[in-house]
Amino acid sequence: MAKALVLKDITKRFPLVLANDHISLDLNWGEVLALVGENGAGKSTLMKIVYGLQPPDKGEMWVDGKPYRPKSPLDAIAHGIGMVHQHFMLVEPFTVLENLVLGLEPGSPLYLDLDEARKRATALMEELGFQVPLDERIENLPVGLQQRVEILKALYRQAKILILDEPTAVLTPQEAEELFRFLRAYVSKGNAAIFISHKLKEVLSVSDRVTVIRDGRVVGTVKTPETSLEELARMMVGREVVLRVEKGPAKPGEVVLEVEGLEAPPRLRGVSFFVRAGEIVGIAGVEGNGQTELVEALAGLRKYRGTVRYLGHPLPHLALKVREAGVSHIPEDRLARGLVLDFSVRENAILGDQHRPPFRGFLGFLDGKAMEHHARTLVETFDVRPRSTDLSARRFSGGNQQKIVVGRELLRGPRLLIAAQPTRGVDVGAIEFIHQRLVEARDQGLAVLLVSADLSEVISLSDRILVMYEGRIVGELTPEEAKEERLGLLMAGVPA
């Protein structure tokens, strides 16, 4: 039988990097092939080539044994290839149903298709075993559901080969489980899938084989039962990776943040806690239990009721003032809040501090030299690749964009860091690195409030763990007490 997809010598050069360097790989019908590699290794670039979003400089492809040279995603779709992107591509003000039909039949007015579309979509959802509210607008859906819409959209177009670029970065563990069940069922019907993820545990559990890419080249392909987390990490990074955080006990000092009866609609229903200098307090919880509201309220981005004291004084209600007071914030959504994508690294590196010295120079103009120096320090200290300060943020891979945000927030020397999903979309090597920087900053007296959907991150990084459920804190645990099972139960609302 012909292979689902064969790539041979795919090569793609961007001005600063050789993103794909003679990549060859194949995908069998009936299998999930995982694609792993460090941030910037070239995974998304390769998949965009397969999906017809950009042409390769060189190389050949075959789909089901036939030569394949897509000129656009329409070609890819016509060949039975669907893609769920790293960053969602849905049209927000439109409904789910409209998004399904959108762009499918050029020239045919939207309203004509909707009834038929509803029938097909309903049948498809039944077959897949998941539901999405068809008449809801995309902007009103939580990310987990948005992602189902992306999958539904690809399958609606009868994709036989499904490409998923970091589909689980924004999913809760439960949602991820559901996705994996779907993927296994999908390939067992004879389809094929390519799955990109930095979560190596998931990779091992869902895929049949794993192809590892480093610096644009294939390092090797391994069968999942025959490999391990450690081996994959080593192949990706090219050295041993410490998968555990190495840190000594915290030596907490004065109370930096004190929160009392904090409420913020729609989901934060009253929380009280404190964070001291020199400690990392982790908030564990299934996403959507008020964490977003909590973080945004503290960062001055959302209205709230209740008392928030910072170093003994009321914390201002305004984002810029909060920053000025020495509070840093790593936002959960780096694209919406963390970066201005069309700005260069140099500009992004001072975002929020542009009005202050040393960046605001003579006569109030921005001081180019100071900015360049700062940006250079950031890309070097935080291993941003490529090491460019000119490149716009848009041109960096997802994980490198995240490093730019984390670097900026740490380098400004805050007293308090509110870190929401600080390693989302970041590769294992970079996670190790970011964790070490956070622990180092803690040891120098930084107070850290960590919000993460990644349980193992919360457990390994935090000195104290608060569990949030339905807008309240339902328990406090030490990391030793927080075995994943106990924590999982608390997170699901089961009292300890």
Ligand X SMILES: Nc1ncnc2c1ncn2[C@@H]1O[C@H](COP(=O)(O)OP(=O)(O)OP(=O)(O)O)[C@@H](O)[C@H]1O
Residues lying near ligand X in the complex (CB under 6 A)? 14, 17, 19, 37, 39-45, 86, 385-386, 395-400, 427
Measured from the CB atom, is 169 or 491 closer to ligand X?
169
**From the list Mg ion, ligand X, none, partner contacted by residue 395 (C-beta under 5 to 8 A by kind):** ligand X
Give min distance, CB of 179 to ligand X, in A.
18
Measured from the CB atom, is 42 or 278 closer to ligand X?
42
**From the list ligand X, Mg ion, none, partner contacted by residue 40 (C-beta under 5 to 8 A by kind):** ligand X
- Is the Cβ–Cβ distance between 446 and 417 less than 8 Å? yes
Give min distance, CB of 376 to Mg ion, in A.
25
Q: How far apart are CA 306 and CA 261, in angstroms?
A: 5
Measured from the CB atom, is 147 or 328 closer to Mg ion?
147
Measured from the CB atom, is 323 or 403 closer to ligand X?
403
Measured from the CB atom, is 289 or 388 closer to ligand X?
388
- Residues sharing a CB contact under 8 Å with residue 284, sequence separation 6 or more, in sequence order: 452, 455, 458, 465, 466, 467, 468, 482, 487, 490, 491
Give min distance, CB of 434 to Mg ion, in A.
17
Q: Does 400 help bind Mg ion (rule: CB under 5 A)? A: no
Closest CA to 203 of 185, 222, 190, 175: 222
150's tokens: 């992306």
Q: Does 401 help bind Mg ion (rule: CB under 5 A)? A: no
Give min distance, CB of 21 to ligand X, in A.
11
Q: How far apart are CA 221 and CA 198, in angstroms?
A: 16
Helix boundaries (H) for 398-493? 398-411, 428-443, 455-461, 484-491
Measured from the CB atom, is 323 or 395 closer to ligand X?
395
**From the list Mg ion, ligand X, none, partner contacted by residue 171 (C-beta under 5 to 8 A by kind):** none
Terminal CA-to-CA distance of the chain, rounded, Å? Answer: 54
Give min distance, CB of 457 to ligand X, in A.
17
Measured from the CB atom, is 37 or 282 closer to Mg ion?
37
Measured from the CB atom, is 53 or 311 closer to ligand X?
53
**From the list Mg ion, ligand X, none, partner contacted by residue 14 (C-beta under 5 to 8 A by kind):** ligand X
**From the list Mg ion, ligand X, none, partner contacted by residue 396 (C-beta under 5 to 8 A by kind):** ligand X
Q: How far apart are CA 450 and CA 417, in angstroms?
A: 8
475 beta partners: 467
Q: How far apart are CA 367 and CA 374, in angstroms?
A: 11
H/E/C letters for each residue in 146-178? HHHHHHHHHHHCCCCEEEEECCCCCCCHHHHHH
Q: Does 207 help bind Mg ion (rule: CB under 5 A)? A: no
Dihedral of the alpha carbons of 326, 303, 140, 398, in degrees to the nearest 10 = 0
243's tokens: 């998968």
Compute the residue count for the chain. Answer: 496
Measured from the CB atom, is 166 or 279 closer to ligand X?
166
Give min distance, CB of 42 to ligand X, in A.
4
Q: Does 44 help bind Mg ion (rule: CB under 5 A)? A: yes
Give the nearest residue (CB) to Mg ion: 44
**From the list Mg ion, ligand X, none, partner contacted by residue 477 (C-beta under 5 to 8 A by kind):** none
**From the list Mg ion, ligand X, none, partner contacted by residue 45 (C-beta under 5 to 8 A by kind):** ligand X
**From the list ligand X, Mg ion, none, partner contacted by residue 224 (C-beta under 5 to 8 A by kind):** none
Give min distance, CB of 136 to ligand X, in A.
29
- Is the Cβ–Cβ distance between 219 and 38 less than 8 Å? no
Q: Is the Cα dihedral 102, 105, 107, 110 positive or negative?
A: negative
- Is the Cβ–Cβ distance between 268 and 471 less than 8 Å? yes
* Residues of span 75-94 touching Mg ion by CB under 5 A: 86
* Angle subtended by helix axes 428-443 and 398-411, to nearest 10: 10
**From the list Mg ion, ligand X, none, partner contacted by residue 407 (C-beta under 5 to 8 A by kind):** none
Contacts with Mg ion by CB under 5 A lie at: 44, 86, 398
